Structure 1
Amino acid sequence: MTKPLTLHPDRLFPADPGTRAIARALYAGVKDLPIVSPHGHTDPAWFARNEPFSDAASLLIVPDHYAFRMLMSQSVPLDALGVPTVNGSPTETDPRAIWRTFAAHYHLFRGTPTRMWLDWVFAECFGIDVRLETATADHYYDVIEAALKTEAFRPRALFERFGIEVIATTESPLDPLDHHRAIRESGWSGRVVTAYRPDPVVDPETDGFAANVRRFGDSAGTDVSTWDGYLAAHRFHRARFRAAGATSTDHGHPSAATANLSREDAAALYARVLAGATPADAELFRAQMLTEMAGMSVEDGMVMQLHPAVYRSHNAEVLARFGRDKGGDIPLPGEFVRALKPLLDRYGNDPRLTLILFTLDEDVYARELAPMAGHYPALRLGPPWWFHDSPEGMRRFRERMTETAGFYNTVGFNDDTRAFLSIPARHDVARRMDCAFLAGLVADHRLEEDEAHEVARALAYDLVKAAYRL
C-alpha cells in the first residue's frame, strides 16, 4: 500500500501553540516575497537555450552531490547512478534504472534537509501525493517525464513560476560568458547575472595553473609574465564580468589567510609561483590575492565572498575516476581573527568594501565571526553554508550570531546550489526557520511583534539585495 506524501503547513514551526501562532503570522508576511538568489551554481545555458530538461534522473540525481553522496555512503556505486567518469568509461545510462535505484534507497534521506527539499519538489512542482519508494518509482518517473515535456517546465517558465527576481551563477575568468550574452540578447526579462570566481588563476595548486594564467592574460590582451600585467588582467576580466551583470566575486580558498606584502615582495612571489609553487608560497600567494581582490572591490564596488576551509575531493579514488565536485569535500577547522587581520588592517574600516564570510566550522560562530562582523564595517556574515544549510544549522547560526552581530550584519539567505528545482524549497526552509526564531524572541518578550515582522522581511529579502548590491 502506498503512503501519502504531505507537506504539513506548520513544518519547522515551534511546537508550543502560542509561539507557533506567532511564527505562522510572521511567515504569512514573507512566504510570497520574490526570491533573490545571489550566489549559486545553476547552469546559465539552461536560461540561454531554454530547452526542456531531459528526464528525472538527469535533472534531480546525476548532477546533485547531495543526492548521490548519501547513496555512495551506503555502498551504492556512482556508476549505478549515471555519474559520468573522467575517462568516459561506461556507467548506467538508462534514466529509469537510475531513478529506480534512487527510489529504492530514498529512505536513507529520512531526517535530512535533502529529503525536505526533494519532497517539496515532488509535491509542489509535480503535484505528486504519494511517497517515493520502490513501489512508486515508476509512477514518479512517468509523472515527472510527462511534466518535463511541457512548456511550463522549461527553465525560464520555472524561473518565473518560482518568483525568482534575480539569480547569480558562478564562472571563472576563463569563461567567455557566451550564455550570459545570449540571455541578455534574447529579450527575456528574467535577470540572470554572473559572479567572478578567480580560483583557477589565483590558486597555484590548481591543476594547470600556469596554462590557466597564460589563457587569462591572452584573453585580456595583457602580458601576465609580470605582476603588474597579471593584476591588470584581473581588472580587465572584472570589468567584463560587471558588464554581464556581476555584482560579486567569490573565493574558495583552503583557508581565510590574507597577506599585505610590498609591491616588490608580491612581484617576487608571483614569479616564484609561475615557475612552480611550494605549498608555503601557494598559501602566501592566495593570501596576498585576497587582499588584492579587496582593493579591487574598493575600486569597482564588487562584493567579495569568501568560502574557506574545505578539504576538496578527499576521496582519491572518486576524484581519479569521476573528477571534482562528487560529494567528497569535507569541512576543516576555520580561523579568521589572525587570518584576516592583514586585509582588515588595509580595508576593514572602508565602507566601500563588503566582505561576506562563510564557514563550515560552527565553533567559530560566536568566538570569532560574530565579534568581527559586529565591529568591522567591511564584514558581513553569510548564511549557514553547505553541510549546515539545514533547519538545525540555521537555528544554531541565529542562536550563536545574533547576540553579538545582530541581524543586520548578516546577509539573508542564499541557496548556493546546482539543483534548480530545489531553490524555492531551500528559501522556504530558511524563511520558516527565521520566523520560528523570531517567534521565540517575541514569545520571550525580547522583541516586539511589529519589529519581528520587519526583521523577517529583512532576512528574506531586503538584506540580500543590499549586501549584494542587487
Structure 2
Amino acid sequence: MLNPDRLFPVEDKARDLARALYETVRSLPIISPHGHTDPRWFAENKKFPNPAQLFITPDHYVFRMLCSQGVKMEDLGVPRIDGGWTETDGRKIWRLFAKHAYLFRATPSRMWLSHAFEDVFGWSDWINEDNADQVYDHIAECLEKPEFLPRALFERFNIEALATTESPLDDLKWHRAIRESGWDGKVVTAYRPDPVVDPHYKGFVDNIEKFGEIAGVNATSWKGYLEAHRIRRAYFKEMGATSSDHGHLTARTENFSEAEAEALFQKALKGECSAEEADAFRGHMLTEMARMSLEDGFTLQIHPGSNRNHSNPVFEMFGLDKGFDIPTQTDYVHALKPLLDAVGMERDLRIVLFTLDETSYARELAPLAGVYPALRLGPAWWFHDSPEGMRRFREMTTETAGFYNTVGFNDDTRAFCSIPARHDVARRVDCAFLATLVVQGRLSDDEAFEVASDLTYRLAKQAYQL
C-alpha cells in the first residue's frame, strides 16, 4: 500500500532531492508535544483489547466518516453517556468498518490507517469486506504479543517525548503511576483549563467548587481562583507538563482591570453570563494564563475556531469530542490585540497559535508571528493535518513568518498507532517543499538539509521544552 515516493514531487530533480532530505530525517525521534492519547495505557501497559478498540471506537476521524453515511455510532461501539446499549463485539464493529472502508479513499485517514496496518502490523493490503476477518485475526494475534504492548510500541515508534492533555480537575494518577513504575518513557501532561475558564462549560459552577477543593483554596473569590490555577499548574509541572492548551470558540482576548475581571467572574458563578460575557471572560483568562506562563515557563497554546459539539442530539447521547466539531471563521488581528499589548513583546514567552481558518494564514497569522517575539505558529491542525493542508501551511506562512516562527509538527491524536504515520506525512511534505525551493534557486542544498532537521525535531523540542 505504501509507495516509497508518496507525497514527493513528480519532477525528477526535485524528487531525488526530496528523497535525500527525507532519508536524513525519517528516523529522527518523534517529539509529540500535544495529543490526546490515554496515559492509562502507559501506566498499566496492558494489551489493547482488540483491533476495533484500537482503530475505530476511539478515533473520531474514523467514525465521523462512517456516521456521515448513516452508520450508527452505537454500532461502532462508541460509548453512550447514559450507559445505553452500544456494540461490544469487536469483530462485528470491524466488519462494519470494512464494509465502508472505501469511504476513506484519498483521505488522510486512509493514509494513516494504511501506514499503521503495513508498518506497525505487517499487513500490506487495504481492508474490505472479503478480507475483514483475516485482517482482524492478524492484528488481534499481534496484539497478544509483548512487542505490541503500549510501552513497547512507544519505544518502537521512537517517541522521545509525548504529551497528553488533562483538565485541572484530573488527579493525574496515571501520570504518577508512570513515573513511579520505573519505565523511562517520557509521557507528560498538559494543562487544559477549559472546564474552569468557560462559564458555559457544562457544570462550570460545580467545577469551580471542586477546583478550589483540589487546590486547597477558596476558588470562588477572584484572587483565590487565580491562586488555584497557579497551584494546579505547579502540580501539572511536577508531573512533567511544559504547556497549557486552550480550546476556545474564538481567539478573543481581553485585559480587564482586577475589578472588572472579578465582577465578571462573580456573574459567571451565578450562571448569569450572556454569550458575549462568557466569551469576554474566556478572553481575559487567556491573558491571565499568558502572565502565569511568564511565571512558570509553560508554552501557551491557543486552539480557537471550532464550533464544538455541533449536533445537540449526539452531544446529549455520546458527550464531548464525538466528531461533530466544525471549523468557523476566526479573527486574530483584532482578537489578540489586548493579549499582545500586555505580553506580546516578551521574549521569554511562547504563545503557539493554531487555526481551522486557512484564510487567516497569509493575511493574519504569519504577519503576527513574523513580528511579535512571543508568537509562534502551530502546524496545520485537525481538518488540515493532511498532505494538502500541510503544504498550504508552508506556502502561505513561510513568505512572512519564515520557518523559525513555527514549531514543527503536532500529531494531536487519540489514535496511538497513527502517531508515526502522521509524523511521516509531515516529514515527507516538508522535504518535498524544501526540495522545490532548492530547485527553484531559493534555498541552498545545505540550508535545506538543516531546515529539514529543524522542522522535524529541533523546533518542537525547543518550543515545548521537551
**Fold conserved (TM > 0.5)?**
yes
The alpha-carbon deviation at position 293 of structure 1 amounts to 0.3
Aligned to 1:165: 160
Q: Residues 170-205 of structure 1: CA distance to partner in whole angstroms, max 9, x if unpaired?
A: 001000011010101111010000000000000000
1:101 corresponds to 2:135: no
Q: Residues 345-376 of structure 1: CA distance to partner in whole angstroms, max 9, x if unpaired?
A: 01000012110000000000000000000000
Of 222, 225, 228, which aligns to 2:217? Answer: 222
AA in 1 matched with 2:146: E
Aligned to 1:38: 33
Of 223, 235, 243, which aligns to 1:248? Answer: 243
The alpha-carbon deviation at position 317 of structure 1 amounts to 1.6
In 2: Cα distance, 1:216 partner to 1:36 partner: 31
In 2: Cα distance, 1:88 partner to 1:273 partner: 31
The alpha-carbon deviation at position 23 of structure 1 amounts to 0.2
SS at 1:370's partner residue?
helix
Aligned to 1:63: 58
In 2: Cα distance, 1:221 partner to 1:69 partner: 41
In 1: Cα distance, 2:277 partner to 2:40 partner: 37
SS at 1:51's partner residue?
coil
TM alignment of 1:132-281, pairs within 5 A? 132-276=127-271, 277-281=273-277
SS at 1:395's partner residue?
helix
The alpha-carbon deviation at position 49 of structure 1 amounts to 0.3
In 2: Cα distance, 1:374 partner to 1:239 partner: 31
In 1: Cα distance, 2:41 partner to 2:168 partner: 20
TM alignment of 1:3-18, pairs within 5 A? 6-18=1-13
1:286 corresponds to 2:282: yes
In 1: Cα distance, 2:49 partner to 2:158 partner: 23
SS at 1:166's partner residue?
strand
Aligned to 2:87: 92
In 2: Cα distance, 1:401 partner to 1:42 partner: 29
AA in 2 matched with 1:387: F
SS at 2:270's partner residue?
helix
SS at 2:226's partner residue?
helix
SS at 1:124's partner residue?
helix
State the identity as a percent.
61
Aligned to 1:431: 427
The alpha-carbon deviation at position 208 of structure 1 amounts to 0.3
Aligned to 2:408: 412
In 2: Cα distance, 1:371 partner to 1:384 partner: 16
Gapped runs of 5+ residues in structure 1?
A: 1-5
Aligned to 1:3: none
Displaced runs of 4+ in structure 1, greater than 3 A?
none
The alpha-carbon deviation at position 224 of structure 1 amounts to 1.3
In 1: Cα distance, 2:142 partner to 2:320 partner: 31
Q: What is the count of residue pairs matched by the alignment? A: 465
SS at 2:410's partner residue?
coil
SS at 1:134's partner residue?
coil
In 1: Cα distance, 2:332 partner to 2:109 partner: 30
In 2: Cα distance, 1:352 partner to 1:229 partner: 26
AA in 1 matched with 2:268: V
The alpha-carbon deviation at position 231 of structure 1 amounts to 0.3
Of 307, 310, 313, which aligns to 1:311? Answer: 307
Aligned to 2:355: 359
In 2: Cα distance, 1:341 partner to 1:314 partner: 28
SS at 2:80's partner residue?
coil
SS at 1:282's partner residue?
helix
Contact 2:208–2:220, Cα closer than 8 Å, also in 1: no
AA in 2 matched with 1:341: K
Give the alignment's TM-score, normalised by structure 1.
Answer: 0.98
Give the alignment's TM-score, normalised by structure 2.
Answer: 0.99
The alpha-carbon deviation at position 129 of structure 1 amounts to 2.3
The alpha-carbon deviation at position 246 of structure 1 amounts to 0.3
The alpha-carbon deviation at position 77 of structure 1 amounts to 1.1
The alpha-carbon deviation at position 146 of structure 1 amounts to 0.4
Aligned to 1:83: 78
AA in 1 matched with 2:199: P
In 2: Cα distance, 1:299 partner to 1:156 partner: 34
Aligned to 2:447: 451
Q: Residues 89-148 of structure 1: CA distance to partner in whole angstroms, max 9, x if unpaired?
A: 112221101000101110100000000000000001111122210111001000010000
SS at 2:131's partner residue?
helix
In 2: Cα distance, 1:119 partner to 1:379 partner: 36
In 2: Cα distance, 1:297 partner to 1:85 partner: 37
AA in 2 matched with 1:399: E
SS at 2:251's partner residue?
coil
AA in 2 matched with 1:457: S
In 2: Cα distance, 1:88 partner to 1:142 partner: 29
1:128 corresponds to 2:128: no
In 1: Cα distance, 2:217 partner to 2:86 partner: 43
SS at 1:107's partner residue?
helix
The alpha-carbon deviation at position 323 of structure 1 amounts to 1.4
AA in 1 matched with 2:384: H
In 2: Cα distance, 1:266 partner to 1:99 partner: 51
